[in-house]
Amino acid sequence: GHLGDPLEALRRVGGREFAAIAGAILAARMQKIPVLLDGLAATAAAAVLHGVNPAALDHCLLASLSPEPAHAHAAQRLGLRPLLDLGISHGEGAGAALAAGLVKAAALTSSGMAAAVRD
Q: Where are the domains of the chain?
A: 2-118
Task: Categorize the per-residue pLDDT at 77 as very low, low, confident or very high, splitting at 50, 70 and 90.
Answer: very high
Reported pTM: 0.75
The pLDDT of residue 88 is above 70: no
What amino acid positions are annotated as catalytic residues?
92
Fold of the domain spanning 2-118: Rossmann fold (3.40.50)
Element (H, E) at 38: strand 35-38
Buried b (16+ CB within 10 A) or exposed e, 9-46: bbeeebeeebeebbeebbeebeeeeebbbbbbbbbbbb
Average pLDDT, the chain: 82
Q: What value does the mean pLDDT take over residues 49-55?
A: 91
